[in-house]
Amino acid sequence: MALLEASGVVAGYGETEVLHGVSIKVNAGEVVTIIGPNGCGKSTLMKAMVGLVRVRTGSVHFRGVDISGHDPEQTVRSGLCYVPQTENVFPSMTIRENLEMGAFVRRDDYQFRIDEMLELFPDLRRSARLKAGTLSGGQRQMLAIARALMLDPVLLLLDEPSAGLAPALVEGVFERIRDINSTGVSILLIEQNARESLRMSDRGYVLAGGANQLQDTGPALLDNPEVGRVYLGG
Amino acid sequence: MGLSMSPGRISALLAAGLLILGFLPFIKLGLVVNGLILGSVIALGAIGLTLVYGILKLGNFAHGDYMAFGAYVAFFIVDGVLPRVGIEGAGLGPFTFGFPVLIALPLAALVVALGAIALDALIYRRLRDRAASTAILMMASLGVAIAIRGLVQLIWSGETQHYPRESRQVYHLPMDVRIPPDGLFVAVLAIILVAGVYALLTHTKMGKAMRATSDNPTLALVSGINTKQVVWWTWGIGGALAAVAGVLLAVVQAQLLPIMGWKFLIPLFAAVILGGIGNPYGALIGALVVGVSMELSTQWINPSYKPAVAFAIMIGVLLARPRGIFGDAP
């Protein structure tokens, strides 16, 4: 059984329908990438999965439970954590406070988890007392991911974690994602850096116009001439 | 909701400080003391107002009337309830008011806190669920303000009332400074409460969740923060502080009037805007600046123009630094 299975998801904002029946799945332990042109509904799909956007028809099953209609708090508690593309830290709060907020629903003493996160992201340890708003783009992205990891999620949703970063930093982000996956966390990510992202992915999906277009293993999508032409820049 | 100091801000504050020092020979220190007392009352109202704005994006026009309502609830307890159980009196120690006011103060705070939460459930939550704009929320709060004032007038009439009081000596200090003991009580209580709010915001889980929600409500949601509880706490704290501010204002002015809260709205907003909307630490500084400016102005202009001074500060800040003295320059 798949860890996460979205089937026939229809969702949108107000009068506008953005997703017209999208289906994807993530198996336990996998890294799965979604690529597609701007405005094809990738981000909306993630928001629908975590309960920020209402699923109108279709379903989202996570660990066998239909979570469409759950509010974000319930989704987070069930082990599905999400990192938005932008505005993904609390700017006036310190790095430590950001991590504490990530652990909001934890009832145990999560201090050890903060230490683990500062271990995993050494850049953050050096400046744990700084306000998140003063961090560089790369540090901010690391903090955003660390915040989402505070709950030991089963599945992590990352919306363009490398967006807006200098090329030298992008490789670092992908390395961290591989590290996180190697600890047993499944990962679903949206990426513009499709080539790097597909290379480390078990499988990938191409969305277009709010619907599924292609799906295959990561390497197969990399070799697909059509994908190469449209999304990988030749 | 932060207080970071860039070199630019520090030099701006230094310049302001020097300006004040330059004027020092021409001002009466006694007025500064009065201003700090008034500023403490403004601060208690302004901190609640700015928290509500930061977390709910609601410019609460009813905040002044929450203050007035709190003052009248305390009056009801002091005048109507406590005498029946034999608790009466005025002139406790050096203060003009009596022990009953001290009992009524926390009770009034509780009543207004619960009332503010109930009004949110009744009105504002429904509007938020329909994704109402900030303007609509503000208009709704204007309606609440008028309704509360009407209710106060209906129950307690429009006549001037006051807590039972006895005259007391003021403290005389050098340089012709006179401090009424009541003023000292007001300032000390305000300091304690502001310190309490600070501790809550920086050291408790709920306080941090309030700051997080103010920073980024969507991220707060997907972090699993119970934003409903955050909203309740915000109204609870804002309402309780408003009630205390109302009682203290009634003590300082030695009278209660239904209009007292509404008239206080401009100094409140001036303090909030001066400190940067949504920034509770800024609101504290803003409140002291507005309070002192209002009192100092009476040295040169008619005291009935005091609210106009607050209004002028507000307009000036909006024109020059719309994000407040601690915000980024436009």
Residue B111's nearest CA partner among B152, B66, B141 is B66
* Closest Cα in chain A, distance from residue B177 (Å): 40
Quick one: closest CA in B to A92, which residue? B2
Residue B235's nearest CA partner among B103, B60, B107, B29 is B60
Averaged pLDDT for residues B185-202:
94
Q: Indicate whether A73 belongs to any domain.
A: yes
Q: Which residues of B touch A92 (CB under 8 A)?
A: 1-2, 211, 214-215
| Residue B327 near residue B321, CB atoms below 8 Å | yes
Q: Which residues of A touch B220 (CB under 8 A)?
A: 90, 101
Q: How big is the A-B interface in CB pairs under 8 Å?
A: 71
Per-residue confidence band for A233, with pLDDT thresholds at 50, 70 and 90: low
Looking at the 3D structure of chain A, how many domains does it have? 1
Quick one: closest CA in A to B216, which residue? A90
Nearest CB neighbour to B212, from listed A90, A131, A133: A90
Which of B211, B215, B222 would you mutate first to test chain A, the one with the most A CBs within 10 A? B222
CATH number of the domain to which A64 belongs: 3.40.50.300
**Which range of residues forms the domain containing residue A181?**
4-88+153-231
Classify strands A203-208 and A31-35 as parallel, antiparallel or unpaired.
parallel
Tell me, what's the pLDDT at B328?
53
| Residue A15 near residue A56, CB atoms below 8 Å | no
Residue contact B218–A84, C-beta within 8 A? yes
Transcribe B167-234 into DSSP letters. Answer: --PPEEETTTEEE-HHHHHHHHHHHHHHHHHHHHHHHSHHHHHHHHHHH-HHHHHHTT--HHHHHHHH
pLDDT digits (tens, 9 = 90+) for B91-148: 888 898 989 999 999 999 999 999 999 999 999 999 998 888 999 999 999 999 999 9
| Residue B206 near residue A87, CB atoms below 8 Å | no
* Closest Cα in chain B, distance from residue A230 (Å): 33
Which residue blocks in chain B are alpha helix, DSSP H?
A: 7-23, 29-56, 63-76, 99-119, 125-129, 134-156, 181-203, 205-215, 217-222, 227-253, 260-263, 265-274, 280-297, 306-320
Encoding tokens for residue A216? 């295959």
Tell me, what's the pLDDT at B304?
87
Residue contact A100–B208, C-beta within 8 A? yes
Q: Which residues of B touch A88 (CB under 8 A)?
A: 219
Residue A142 in this model has a pLDDT that exceeds 80: yes
Encoding tokens for residue B240? 């309780």
pLDDT digits (tens, 9 = 90+) for B56-98: 999 999 999 999 999 999 999 999 898 888 888 888 888 989 8
Average predicted confidence (pLDDT) for chain A: 92
- A14 versus A31: the higher-pLDDT residue is A31
d(CA A114, CA A156): 17
Q: What angle do CA A213, A217, A220 make, to 5 degrees?
A: 85
Residue contact A87–B219, C-beta within 8 A? yes
Measured CB to CB, residues of chain B less than 8 Å from chain A are 1-2, 4, 205, 208-209, 211-212, 214-216, 218-226
Positive or negative CA dihedral for B281, B284, B267, B311?
negative
Q: Indicate whether A123 belongs to any domain.
A: no
* Closest Cα in chain B, distance from residue A160 (Å): 16
Residue B264 in this model has a pLDDT that exceeds 60: yes
Transcribe A195-211 into DSSP letters. Answer: HHHHHT-SEEEEEETTE
* Closest Cα in chain B, distance from residue A92 (Å): 5
Residue A199 in this model has a pLDDT that exceeds 60: yes
Q: What angle do CA B180, B47, B154 make, to 5 degrees?
A: 75
* Closest Cα in chain B, distance from residue A104 (Å): 6
Indicate the class that CATH gives domain B30-320: mainly alpha
Residue A74's nearest CA partner among A93, A42, A46, A52 is A52
Q: Which residues of B touch A82 (CB under 8 A)?
A: 222
Tell me, what's the pLDDT at B329?
43
Tell me, what's the pLDDT at B330?
38
Classify strands A80-83 and A155-159 as parallel, antiparallel or unpaired.
parallel
Averaged pLDDT for residues B250-273:
94
Q: Which residues of A touch B215 (CB under 8 A)?
A: 90-93
Tell me, what's the pLDDT at B234?
97
Residue contact A100–B222, C-beta within 8 A? no
DSSP state of A80: E
Residue B101, SS3? helix
Q: Tell me, what amino acid is at A200?
A: M
pLDDT digits (tens, 9 = 90+) for A20-61: 999 999 999 999 999 988 888 999 999 999 999 999 999 999
Residue A203's nearest CA partner among A22, A34, A37 is A34
Q: Which residues of B touch A90 (CB under 8 A)?
A: 211-212, 215-216, 219-220
Q: Indicate whether A165 belongs to any domain.
A: yes
* Closest Cα in chain A, distance from residue B120 (Å): 21
Strand locations in A84-227 (E): 155-159, 186-190, 203-208, 211-217
pLDDT digits (tens, 9 = 90+) for A86-113: 999 999 999 999 999 999 999 999 999 9
Residue B1 in this model has a pLDDT that exceeds 70: no
Tell me, what's the pLDDT at B135?
93
Q: Which residues of A touch B2 (CB under 8 A)?
A: 91-93, 131, 133
Tell me, what's the pLDDT at B153?
95
- B28 versus B268: the higher-pLDDT residue is B268
Residue contact A92–B208, C-beta within 8 A? no
Quick one: closest CA in A to B214, which residue? A90
Residue B196 in this model has a pLDDT that exceeds 50: yes
Share of chain A above pLDDT 70, in %: 99
d(CA A202, CA B246): 64
Quick one: closest CA in A to B3, which residue? A92
Contacts by B134-143, CB closer than 8 A, 24 or more apart: B134/B57, B134/B58, B134/B59, B137/B56, B137/B57, B137/B58, B137/B59, B138/B58, B138/B59, B138/B60, B138/B61, B141/B58, B141/B59, B141/B60, B141/B61, B141/B62, B142/B61, B142/B62
Residue B190's nearest CA partner among B66, B48, B3 is B48
Contacts of B59 (CB under 8 A, 6+ apart): B53, B134, B137, B138, B141, B269
**H or E element at residue A115:** helix A111-120
d(CA A60, CA A68): 5
pLDDT digits (tens, 9 = 90+) for B265-322: 999 999 999 998 888 888 999 999 999 999 999 988 898 888 899 999 898 888 888 8
The whole-model pTM stands at 0.89
Contacts of A38 (CB under 8 A, 6+ apart): none
d(CA B258, CA B71): 9
d(CA B314, CA B317): 5
| Residue A129 near residue A94, CB atoms below 8 Å | yes
d(CA B211, CA B215): 6
Tell me, what's the pLDDT at B215?
93
Averaged pLDDT for residues B242-258:
95
* Domain ranges within chain B, ordered by starting residue: 30-320
pLDDT digits (tens, 9 = 90+) for B36-59: 999 999 999 999 999 999 999 999
Nearest CB neighbour to A73, from listed B218, B219, B226: B226
* Closest Cα in chain B, distance from residue A91 (Å): 7
Measured CB to CB, residues of chain A less than 8 Å from chain B are 50, 52, 71-73, 76-77, 81-82, 84, 87-93, 97, 100-102, 104-105, 131, 133-134, 147, 151
* Closest Cα in chain A, distance from residue B221 (Å): 6
Contacts of A178 (CB under 8 A, 6+ apart): A31, A200
